[in-house]
Structure formats: structure tokens, C-alpha cells
């Protein structure tokens, strides 16, 4: 059997030649003489080879009984004979000697001349080796085919799985589409159902607002009747004791004739009840946003607390004012009448009236009992920014873009004084508590203090580097806080007529400031949508209240310092506590 060899192995071709008896007769043999020395040399070579072999066996280490495997023998591959050798062997076998001689002579002649093709000189291909190679290729290809079959089966299983998932998701998608259509139809039915209830809801809402207004008016009427009853009881008691007391100053002020002017000055001997009281500062560091209410359709420009009830008034650039319960935020009352944005608001000390200022150059007085506008002051020639009631309720002041501040008599409903002196818009005004002095802040960068009796400027405070936006005074009446468009808050000593300190709220303008009851905290409404609270003693920021989405326009502490309310350009007011 032939053995397959690599291309690096040498191939030796053996030719089979047969000799006949006739060939032996033609061959002449010669005797070869051998010398004794050659035999001795060959014997010595054999003996030396045997001795070296024995020495090698002795020097080999013992393998512990392990049988040494013999090296594989090198095989000899017998390649098929070429064409000419095949013919020679055939002629020799059949004894055709003359034909063989003629063939050899002619073959070698043609071979020497190069007239024989390669197909006659090359060896005959081994068909068995070729068949074996082809068999091996077939086996390899069958193995590869089996592998491909396995891969195909696996791919088919994966494809079947994908097809099942596709069918499942398609069915699920159809179900979701059906559910979506059903929900859409349900929403349409609900929308139609809701639209049918919308007129009823509007009617109920209107009734609710009317009921809340009536409730508020009833409370005001009840308080007024209660005060009258107490006054009558006091008079009856004094009559029974035979001691008729002289009427108080406030009673005298109320007994002015109808339509006549109120006494000016209204109460020159009034005593500030908060002058000797000390209040604990509110814990503004722990204040957090409690509620946010979308109050108006436009920016909330000012807020004011009712002096006796948990009620809040807001005014807006949407030309309306509204009253809300605190802290629930229920709408109690609303009013319309201004023809432009509403900028300022304040409650009457008794809580029976409301005053508002507007960009239409008017100041309106609203009566809660009658639920309408009782009077409109029209003496200002330009937009009015702010307003404030006197502690007696007989007078109110308003400031305007026409560079003036006016004093209005709520009894005679006319202007009693005009304060002139500022050279730019007067942006804010307030009363010094329980006095007849009015404080104003102007776009000419000054803060002024005016005597309402004479209409003259008492003092002017200089120090702001930009327009003053707002002023307020503490309950004791000895300190003024003012803010400007540079984001600076300044404190002024009224008695010493000097600046107590300056606090920075950042590069953005500050639109409003307000004192707490203790006078040690000042809340500032900043244009960067943050409410900052300052410590007036240490002159630093102690709290930053974040939550508004736009500039904060106004800020107020409630009368008990339990909460803080801020209004913003984002159309909301927010309660912090």
C-alpha cells in the first residue's frame, strides 16, 4: 500500500527489471581479488560498532519498566511506471528482445530530439491517491455540510422564534390600538358630558362668589354692629353711674359733618403703642413654600393684608383687584374698574374700604358694604404708583409719575395737600406710624420725609446711586428701609437723619421691601425671582426663598409674622411659612 508523503519528502522511483537466462550467457564475469587487510578492516569496524552500541545502552537511564516506543519506520512509496517503462517491461516479459531494442533505439532518438510530448514522459498519475484525496475532501465537505445544517437548523429556530414574537407583538399592537380607540371614544364622551355640566359649574361658581361676598359683608357689618353695641353699652353704663365721659379724640374725628373736611392734622397727639414693645423676629431661615396660587392673568404688582382678618388683597396688570382668604387661598371678592394696570393697594384701618392706584392716573376708593367703587380721585396727571391710608382712616396719600404726592380726604373726597419737591417720578409712599409724616421714594435717587399739615419736606436722605423703587418704615417709626434699581437696600435713622447701613441683594433691581414687627428683618422682592430676607443688625442675607418663575414685584409680612406673601410677574402669589 502506498503511503502519502509531504512535498518536502524525497521520492525515489524503483523500476522492476527482469533478467532471463540468455542475458546471463551474454554477460562476462571477472574475478575480483580481495586482500586480507580489507577483511580485517571490515571486521574491526563491525566490532567497534557493536561495542559503541552496548556502551550507549548501559549509559541510558532506567525508565522504570516503561516500554520505549519504537520510532515509526519511513515507508517507500511506489509510484506507477511511466509509459515507456511499462512497454519495456511488457516486451521483456514476453521475450520480444528485437522489438525491445528497436523501441529503445527509436524512443531515445525521439527523446533526444525533443519530439516526445510531456504526456508521454511524465509519470502516470496515481488514481488511487487521487481517489483518496477526493475521499478526504468529500469527508471534509460532509462535515462542513453537517455544521451548516446545524447552523441552518439553529437559524430556522431563531427565525421561527422571531416570527412568533412578531405575531405576538402584532396581536398586542392591534389590542393596544383597539384599547386606544376605546379610550379615545370614552374621552370624547366624557368631554361632551363635561361640556354639558360646564354651564352648571359656572353658575355654581358665580353663586359661590356671591355667597362669599355676602359672607364677607356680613362679617364687616357684624363687626361694625358689635362696635356700636359696645359703644352704646359703655354709654349706658356711664349714664347709670352718673359719669358722662367726654368723647375720645377718635370719636370727635368721626363726628365731622357729612361732606365736610376732616380735621388736619387728624391726630397730632397720637401715641405709638408699639414704641416700647419688643417682638421676637420670625424664623425666616426655616420658611418654605407652602402654597402657590395663580391669582391673575398678568403680573401681580402689589399685595396688602387686612388689618383684622386673615384676608389678602392683590392687584395686577390685568386691571383687576382680588381678595383671598389666607392660607387657603379661596377667592372672596374681585373688582374691576380701572382702565389700565393696577399698581398699588391698601386696606382702610377699619377694614371696610380698599384703595387702589392705577396706570390710568386715578385713585379709586372701594366700599365693601356697597360692593362698588365709592369714589375716584383724578387729580394726578400721570400714572399713579402707590397709596397708603393714615392710621385714622380719614386720609390717604398717593404718589405718581407726575413728580407729586397727594393727600386725599376720605370725608370730603378732595385733595387736601400736594407735596412737590421731587424732580422725577415718585415711586413709593408710606406713613410714619401714628404720626402725620409721609415718607416717599423717588426716581431722583432720594428718600424724603414730608409734614402732611404744611405740605413741606422735613428731611431728605441722599445715598442711593440709582432710582429708589420702594420705601417702608418699621412699627416704631424710627427706621426707614429703601431699595433701588441697583439691588441695594439702605436703612435710615429718622431721628439722626443718617444712614444706618447698606445691604446688597445682588446685581438685579429690588422692587419692594417690608419690615417685620420686630424691625430686625427686612424682606426684599428681587428681580431675579428670589425673595431675600436681610438681618438689619448684622446687615446680611439670612434667607433666600426660591420658587417664583419670574421677577418678584411685591412682598409683605402678615400682621403676626407667621407667614410671608410674595407676588410675581409669573401671575402668582406664593405663601411662605
The cell numbers describing 462, all together, are 441722599
Q: In whole angstroms, give the CA distance from residue 200 to residue 191.
A: 15
Q: In whole angstroms, give the CA distance from residue 221 to residue 227.
A: 10
Q: C-alpha 434: how far from its chain's center? A: 50
Are the CB atoms for 455 and 476 separated by under 8 Å? Answer: no
pLDDT at 315: 96
Are the CB atoms for 342 and 223 separated by under 8 Å? Answer: no
Q: In whole angstroms, give the CA distance from residue 169 to residue 175.
A: 9
* Model confidence at 573: pLDDT above 50: yes
Query: What are 85-103's pLDDT values in tens digits?
Result: 778 888 898 889 899 999 8
Distances in whole angstroms, Cα of residue 529 to Cα of each of 14, 187, 534: 109, 39, 16
Are the CB atoms for 352 and 365 separated by under 8 Å? Answer: no
Give every CB contact of residue 438 below 8 A, 6+ residues apart in sequence. Answer: 397, 405, 407, 419, 429, 430, 431, 432, 449, 450, 452
pLDDT at 289: 93
**394 in a domain, yes or no?**
yes
* Model confidence at 14: pLDDT above 70: no
**529 in a domain, yes or no?**
yes
In order, the DSSP letters of 363-380 are EEEEETTTTEEEEEE---
Q: C-alpha 245: how far from its chain's center? A: 69
Are the CB atoms for 552 and 527 separated by under 8 Å? Answer: yes
In order, the DSSP letters of 166-213 are HHHHHHHHHHHHHHHHHHHHHHHHHHHHHHHHHHHHHHHHHHHHHHHH
**321 in a domain, yes or no?**
yes
pLDDT at 424: 94
pLDDT at 115: 82
Compute the C-alpha angle 272/274/278, nearest 5°. Answer: 155
* Model confidence at 468: pLDDT above 80: yes
* Model confidence at 337: pLDDT above 70: yes
pLDDT at 240: 82
**548 in a domain, yes or no?**
yes
* Model confidence at 64: pLDDT above 50: no
Q: Report the CATH number at residue 493.
A: 2.130.10.10
- Residue-averaged pLDDT of the chain: 83
pLDDT at 63: 47
Mean pLDDT, residues 17-37 taken together: 51
pLDDT band for position 482 (cuts 50, 70, 90): very high
**182 in a domain, yes or no?**
no
Query: What are 139-184's pLDDT values in tens digits?
Result: 999 999 999 999 999 999 999 999 999 999 999 999 999 999 999 9
Measured from the Cβ of residue 89, the count of other Cβ atoms closer than 10 Å reads 16
From the list 502, 457, 458, 509, the residue with the least C-alpha distance to 484 is: 509
The cell numbers describing 238, all together, are 356711664
* Model confidence at 6: pLDDT above 80: no
End-to-end CA distance of the chain: 107
The cell numbers describing 488, all together, are 441695594
pLDDT band for position 3 (cuts 50, 70, 90): very low
pLDDT band for position 1 (cuts 50, 70, 90): very low
Q: C-alpha 376: how far from its chain's center? A: 48
pLDDT at 47: 64
Lowest mean pLDDT among 23-27, 56-60, 64-68, 113-117: 64-68
Beta-strand ranges (E) seen in 230-309 are 289-294, 300-305
Mean pLDDT, residues 233-249 taken together: 65
Rounded to a whole number of angstroms, the CA Rg of the chain reads 60
The rounded percent of the chain whose pLDDT value lies above 70 is 81
* Model confidence at 32: pLDDT above 80: no
Give me the domain span that covers residue 340: 285-576
Are the CB atoms for 554 and 296 separated by under 8 Å? Answer: no
192 versus 270: the higher-pLDDT residue is 192
Query: What are 274-283's pLDDT values in tens digits?
Result: 888 888 999 9
Query: What are 511-565's pLDDT values in tens digits?
Result: 999 999 999 999 999 999 999 999 999 999 999 999 999 999 999 999 999 999 9
Specify the number of domains making up the chain.
1
pLDDT at 248: 42
**546 in a domain, yes or no?**
yes
Question: Helix, strand or coil for residue 161?
Answer: helix
pLDDT band for position 422 (cuts 50, 70, 90): very high
Compute the C-alpha angle 93/94/100, nearest 5°. Answer: 85
**541 in a domain, yes or no?**
yes
* Model confidence at 37: pLDDT above 60: no
Query: What are 182-226's pLDDT values in tens digits?
Result: 999 999 988 888 888 888 888 888 888 778 777 777 777 777 788
- 450-474 as b/e: b if 16+ CB within 10 A: bbbeebebeebbebbeebbbbbbbb
Lowest mean pLDDT among 51-65, 397-411, 487-501, 506-520: 51-65
pLDDT at 358: 95
**521 in a domain, yes or no?**
yes
Q: In whole angstroms, give the CA distance from residue 410 to residue 262.
A: 8
Q: In whole angstroms, give the CA distance from residue 373 to residue 406.
A: 20
Measured from the Cβ of residue 88, the count of other Cβ atoms closer than 10 Å reads 18
Longest dimension (CA), the chain: 193
Reported as type and span, the H/E element at residue 380 is none
Amino acid at each position: 500500500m502506498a503511503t502519502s508523503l509531504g512535498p518536502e519528502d524525497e521520492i525515489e522511483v524503483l523500476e522492476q527489471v527482469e533478467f532471463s537466462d540468455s542475458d546471463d550467457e551474454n554477460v562476462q564475469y571477472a574475478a575480483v581479488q580481495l586482500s586480507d587487510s580489507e577483511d580485517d578492516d571490515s571486521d574491526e569496524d563491525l566490532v567497534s560498532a557493536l561495542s559503541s552500541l552496548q556502551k550507549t545502552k548501559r549509559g541510558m537511564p532506567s525508565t522504570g519498566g516503561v516500554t520505549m516506543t519504537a520510532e515509526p519506520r519511513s515507508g517507500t512509496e511506489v509510484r506507477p511506471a511511466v509509459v515507456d517503462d511499462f512497454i519495456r517491461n511488457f516486451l521483456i516479459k514476453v521475450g520480444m528482445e528485437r522489438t525491445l531494442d528497436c523501441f529503445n533505439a527509436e524512443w531515445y532518438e525521439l527523446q533526444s530530439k525533443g519530439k516526445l510530448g510531456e504526456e508521454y514522459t511524465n509519470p502516470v498519475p496515481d488514481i488511487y491517491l487521487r481517489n483518496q484525496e477526493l475521499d478526504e475532501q468529500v469527508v471534509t465537505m460532509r462535515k462542513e455540510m453537517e455544521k451548516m445544517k446545524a447552523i441552518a437548523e439553529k437559524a430556522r429556530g431563531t427565525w421561527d422564534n422571531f416570527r412568533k414574537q412578531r405575531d405576538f407583538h402584532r396581536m398586542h399592537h392591534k389590542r393596544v390600538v383597539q384599547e386606544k380607540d376605546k379610550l379615545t371614544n370614552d374621552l370624547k364622551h366624557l368631554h361632551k358630558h363635561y361640556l354639558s355640566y360646564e354651564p352648571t359649574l359656572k353658575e355654581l361658581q358665580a353663586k359661590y362668589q356671591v355667597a362669599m361676598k355676602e359672607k364677607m359683608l356680613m362679617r364687616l357689618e357684624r363687626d361694625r354692629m358689635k362696635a356700636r353695641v359696645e359703644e352704646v353699652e359703655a354709654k349706658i353704663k356711664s349714664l347709670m353711674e352718673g359719669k358722662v365721659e367726654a368723647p375720645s379724640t377718635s370719636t370727635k374725628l368721626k363726628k365731622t359733618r357729612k361732606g365736610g373736611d376732616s380735621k388736619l392734622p387728624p391726630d397730632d397727639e397720637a401715641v405709638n403703642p408699639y414704641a416700647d414693645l419688643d417682638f421676637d423676629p420670625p424664623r425666616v431661615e426655616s420658611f418654605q413654600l407652602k402654597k402657590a396660587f395663580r391669582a391673575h392673568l398678568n403680573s401681580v404688582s402689589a399685595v396688602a393684608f387686612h388689618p383684622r382678618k386673615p384676608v389678602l388683597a392683590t392687584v395686577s396688570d390685568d386691571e383687576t383687584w382680588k381678595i383671598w382668604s389666607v392660607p387657603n387661598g379661596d377667592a372672596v371678592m374681585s373688582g374691576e374698574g380701572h382702565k389700565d394696570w393696577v399698581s398699588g393697594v391698601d386696606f382702610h384701618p377699619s377694614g371696610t374700604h380698599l384703595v387702589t392706584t392705577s396706570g390710568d392716573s386715578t385713585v379709586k376708593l372701594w366700599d365693601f358694604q356697597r360692593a362698588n367703587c365709592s369714589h375716584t380721585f383724578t387729580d394726578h396727571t400721570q400714572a399713579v404708583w402707590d397709596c397708603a391710608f393714615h392710621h385714622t382712616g380719614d386720609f390717604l396719600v398717593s404718589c405718581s409719575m407726575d413728580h407729586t404726592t397727594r393727600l386725599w380726604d376720605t370725608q370730603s373726597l378732595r385733595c387736601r395737600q400736594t407735596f412737590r419737591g421731587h424732580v422725577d417720578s415718585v415711586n413709593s409712599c408710606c406713613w410714619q406710624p401714628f404720626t402725620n409724616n409721609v415718607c416717599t421714594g423717588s426716581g431722583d435717587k432720594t428718600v424724603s420725609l414730608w409734614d402732611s399739615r404744611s405740605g413741606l419736606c422735613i428731611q431728605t436722605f441722599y445715598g442711593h446711586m440709582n432710582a429708589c423703587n420702594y420705601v417702608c418704615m418699621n412699627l416704631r417709626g424710627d427706621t426707614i428701609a429703601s431699595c433701588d434699581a441697583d439691588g441695594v437696600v439702605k436703612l435710615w435713622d429718622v431721628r439722626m437723619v443718617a444712614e444706618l447701613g447698606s445691604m446688597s441683594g445682588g446685581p438685579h433691581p429690588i422692587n419692594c421691601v417690608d419690615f417685620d414687627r420686630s424691625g430686625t428683618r427686612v424682606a426684599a422682592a428681587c428681580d431675579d425671582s428670589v425673595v431675600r430676607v436681610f438681618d438689619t443688625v448684622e446687615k446680611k442675607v439670612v434667607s433666600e426663598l426660591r420658587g417664583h418663575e419670574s421677577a418678584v414685584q411685591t412682598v409683605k409680612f402678615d400682621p403676626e409674622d407667621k407667614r410671608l406673601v410674595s407676588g410675581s410677574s409669573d401671575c402668582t402669589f406664593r405663601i411662605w411659612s
